[in-house]
Structure 1
Amino acid sequence: MTILPLDPTANPTPAALEDFLAQVQAAARQRGRAQLASISVEVEALDPLAVLESIFEPGERHFYVERPAEGLAVAGAEAVLAFEAKGPERFAAVQRFIDETLANTIAVGDLGASLTGPHFFAAFSFFAETEPGEAFAAASVFVPRWQVSQRAGRTVAVANLLIEAGSDLHALAARVWRAHGKFRAFDYSTPEFPVAAGAPDVAATLRDVGSDGFYQRSVARALEEIASGEFQKIVLARAKDLTAAAPLHPLRVLNGLRQRFGDCYSFSVANGRGQSFIGASPERLLRVQAQVLTTEALAGSAPRGATASEDAAVGGALLRSEKDLREHRAVLGSIVRRLRELSLVPEYPQRPVLRRFANVQHLHTPVRARLPDDVRVGEVLSRLYPTPAVGGTPRAAAVARIREHEAFPRGLYAGAIGWIDGRGDGEFFLGLRSALVEGATARLYAGAGIVAGSSPEQEFAEAEWKFRAMQEALLAP
């Protein structure tokens, strides 16, 4: 990425903006290839979700993620560039697309600060190959035209433009200038969301995907395969289909998720064809910042108690549960082993602690490692994903069995969702506690890890209370 020593706030005029775009256009002509122009400006405090609400179009791609407990919120809308891939090399293909784009990017602004510059928002489905008719490709990535991000109280707006040899610079500059004026005096008008699915005058239906008892029978078969030594753990999911009498707006649901699940990644990823994958995920897959990699093992689950005493009792039982500790060790061991395969030196505590969320508590172990310059985010993703927390162990044997044990395609459920920026930093989380929304319908997903000692009835119940977050968010008035 080429960074020009220009401060867009020093001479904030349409003429200065057009002069910058002219420099980018000259580079496009010289190189014989379109160039990405990226302009980053710090702005007065904005709510990125409110910005996305103001520009939301169902026919445009968008990406949104917020983790209130960390002061993080990122919104991106409209695709300037997009790329899709599939197969076992999909992570490498996306990394190549990012590298090639950055080699033809010219940026201005304070690019040393967090969340500045072009971001590549990516979503990887659980399986490397998707089935016909699925909403998202096995790997998809896009650069947004507009991005608004907030971290620790600082707000940055980014405009990305694709400049070709024959681009109308005057029109492009005018468009960016109008957006700049809007961000400087943002109007927090109330969005008009449709009637909520659970309002008294609107009926909604909710049913399991698959026949009665299908999940319990799948768990029973998986336990037989575990007993025979085929694998030690497999994660099996359930799905529910919700149908409402009114359209379900993904951003209305997000408002509820971010308020209730401040420790989670509340997210929405739209494909530009009217379908959005939304949720509140508790699990970070990885973060790379200033050459430091952080990830985590989050496995072994229990519900929250109704009182402090009950909550403590349930949590204490989880910390002593041989079955849950075994499941947690499998996830942690896989993460550590795969990081060492990249010649990294992972650091982590020897005993897990409890990580509590609004409706569930998990066994949690944080993992940290220094990342050499020659190891990219895409390469780490390809090694870590899918973790035993969403697939199983051994990975190949367990993942190969999942499709025959589930009654639906997973799509982005338990997939890897996040971004990589122009500095090579990135952050990804798992698409858990989630739903695929289209019009008045939504498919909800939740799963559980099956190990020796699991019971079909208990795993069905675990998925049931994991469903609760999305059901309440979709049905809330």
Structure 2
Amino acid sequence: MITDTQTHTDLNIGLTDAIARAKAEDTTILFSYTFQFEARDLLPLLSHPADKNACRIYWEQPREGFALAGLGKTLEINDDHGESIDSLNEKISNYFQQAIHVSNHPFVGPRFLGGHSFNPQSDSDKTWGEFPRACYILPECLATLNPDGCWLTISKMVTKNDNPNSLLREFSRNCTHYEKRLPVTLPPLRHVPIDKFKDIPNRKEYDEIIYSVLEKIRPEKLEKVVISRSHQVKVGEEFSVVSAVQVLRNMYPKCTNFFFSFPKAGIFFGATPERLIRKNGQEITTEALAGTIDRGRNMEEDRLLAETLFDSHKEREEHRFVIEQIKGRLETIIPEIEIPYEPIVLKLKNVQHLKTPISGVLENGEKILDLVKLLHPTPAVAGTPLKRAMEVIGKLEPHDRGWYSGPVGWIDPKGNGDFFVALRSALVKNEEAHIFVGGGIVSESLPEQEWHETELKLQPIISALSGGQK
């Protein structure tokens, strides 16, 4: 909130500079103002009924005490014209290079949030319809929560014809407006009945696809192909994505919980355990996440299942493929990569995964989207060898994955960011939810076991869609 003389002066100077720069360069300039406020939870910011049809974005990592909540949009960059990730990267960089930001905190400010489809070259089917193949939004209001506190960033594009006094009054009104919109508590969870619609592919078709993949693995020197499926259910008007994410973060605090609500296009939400890439300065972290088994009904059974997963030749081979591919790609830009000798077992509410953290230090000036381009898609969501696996997926999968298993995340003005693979996710539109899950197929795979694994992966989203009901 604009309350003191110094802030008023800083804002006035910043806005005057932005107008002058807009005149000098004959363009519009991104201007942002960040101020601290009191809040322990950002999800309520997006729960107001009046904002149901507004652009809303949420991102939370509960274990890290970090969250972002975006409302409205000041900038939107997408690939409606078939632009490459390099073009999107350049546009984002250009906006940030010209931007002016007034803040009392050096590490909090405007960010782009968005993502890409799994395969931008594929054609959208009717399910994804108006949902963009890639899209990045810089929200008009962005709330940031981290262990140091909570901040609101208000952003606006400034033109050469703007008046600094008028803009100052507008920023003051917006700051007050958004700060008052943050209630103390969330509304009660909405328990929504859901009705199964259909599976694409159905069980019989899925088994046939898996057998087709197995027939190709040995003669074509394929090591792994990831096959996904879509589970469609009916949801009513009562569905609330805020309630859905509330369920997910309570059940899966080790996951990154997110949603992107785009007017008319739909709502994409999920809880993903898999980080694609994180960049903080020159330091990068990623991980291999592949190999899955159930949770046990008690501690002893859970321990035995974890041992079975850890000792499984099939699961360890599937995991090794992912590590080797990530390592091979990172070696082109990083001289020394740190990879533990053995994986750990990541225990989520209903499944266990093999996980290996991977890290390194960049030597050049790569930005976060450069790294996303380098690593996506990983063998964990596509297969290996990559080119042939993608060809098999394109031929055998009867649906468009859209943003499922694509990269989603955020980008800051310094080219840092954090991207995850959009797993355990669903698209909701027209009172229908399309839940997407998948699994890696290797030479030892059995269709029945693969179907069971995907059924396990469906449960988080089904529970979220129903407001926590099983």
Q: Which TM class, normalised by the smaller chain length? A: over 0.9
Q: Is the 8 A contact 1:194 1:247 kept in 2?
A: no
Corresponding residue of 1:150: 145
Corresponding residue of 2:155: 160
Give CA deviations for 1:100-141 in whole Å, capped at 9, x if unaligned. 11122111113522xx12211121100022424534322211
Q: Matched residues in 2 for 1:288 and 1:69: separation?
A: 18
Q: Is the 8 A contact 1:62 1:271 kept in 2?
A: yes
Give CA deviations for 1:373-409 in whole Å, capped at 9, x if unaligned. 4222121111100000001001111012112221211
1:125 maps to 2:125: no
The percentage of counterpart residues that share the same residue type is 29
1:316 maps to 2:307: yes
Amino acid of the residue matched to residue 219 of structure 2?
Answer: S
1:70 to 64, 72, 75: 64
1:398 maps to 2:389: yes
Amino acid of the residue matched to residue 89 of structure 2?
Answer: Q
The secondary structure found in structure 2 opposite 1:341 is coil
Computed over aligned residues only, the root mean square deviation of the Cα atoms, in angstroms, reads 2.4
Superposition deviation, residue 56 in structure 1: 6.3
Superposition deviation, residue 186 in structure 1: 5.7
Q: Is the 8 A contact 1:232 1:452 kept in 2?
A: yes
Amino acid of the residue matched to residue 362 of structure 1?
Answer: H
Q: Is the 8 A contact 1:205 1:244 kept in 2?
A: no
Number of residue equivalences: 465
Corresponding residue of 2:262: 271
Q: Matched residues in 1 for 2:282 and 2:68: separation?
A: 21
Superposition deviation, residue 192 in structure 1: 6.4
Superposition deviation, residue 303 in structure 1: 1.2
Q: Is the 8 A contact 1:58 1:273 kept in 2?
A: no
Superposition deviation, residue 246 in structure 1: 3.1
Q: Matched residues in 2 for 1:345 and 1:272: separation?
A: 44
> TM-score normalized by structure 1?
0.91
Q: Matched residues in 1 for 2:461 and 2:148: separation?
A: 28
Q: Matched residues in 1 for 2:165 and 2:315: separation?
A: 61
- Ranges in structure 2 where 5+ consecutive residues have no aligned partner: none
1:94 maps to 2:88: yes
1:294 maps to 2:285: yes
Give CA deviations for 1:327-346 in whole Å, capped at 9, x if unaligned. 00000011111000124421
Q: Is the 8 A contact 2:190 2:240 kept in 1?
A: no
Corresponding residue of 1:418: 409
Q: Matched residues in 2 for 1:87 and 1:215: separation?
A: 34
Q: Matched residues in 1 for 2:111 and 2:374: separation?
A: 22
Q: Is the 8 A contact 2:28 2:157 kept in 1?
A: yes
Shift in CA distance, 103/450, structure 1 to aligned 2, threshold 3 Å: same
Superposition deviation, residue 146 in structure 1: 0.6
Corresponding residue of 1:105: 99
Q: Is the 8 A contact 1:274 1:439 kept in 2?
A: no
1:28 to 22, 38, 43: 22
Amino acid of the residue matched to residue 347 of structure 1?
Answer: E
Corresponding residue of 1:452: 443
Corresponding residue of 2:48: 54
The secondary structure found in structure 2 opposite 1:66 is strand
Superposition deviation, residue 71 in structure 1: 0.6
- Ranges in structure 1 where 5+ consecutive residues have no aligned partner: 1-6
Q: Matched residues in 2 for 1:411 and 1:355: separation?
A: 27
The secondary structure found in structure 2 opposite 1:137 is coil
Amino acid of the residue matched to residue 123 of structure 1?
Answer: G
Q: Is the 8 A contact 2:333 2:362 kept in 1?
A: no
Superposition deviation, residue 82 in structure 1: 1.1
Worse overlay, 272-281 or 12-21: 12-21
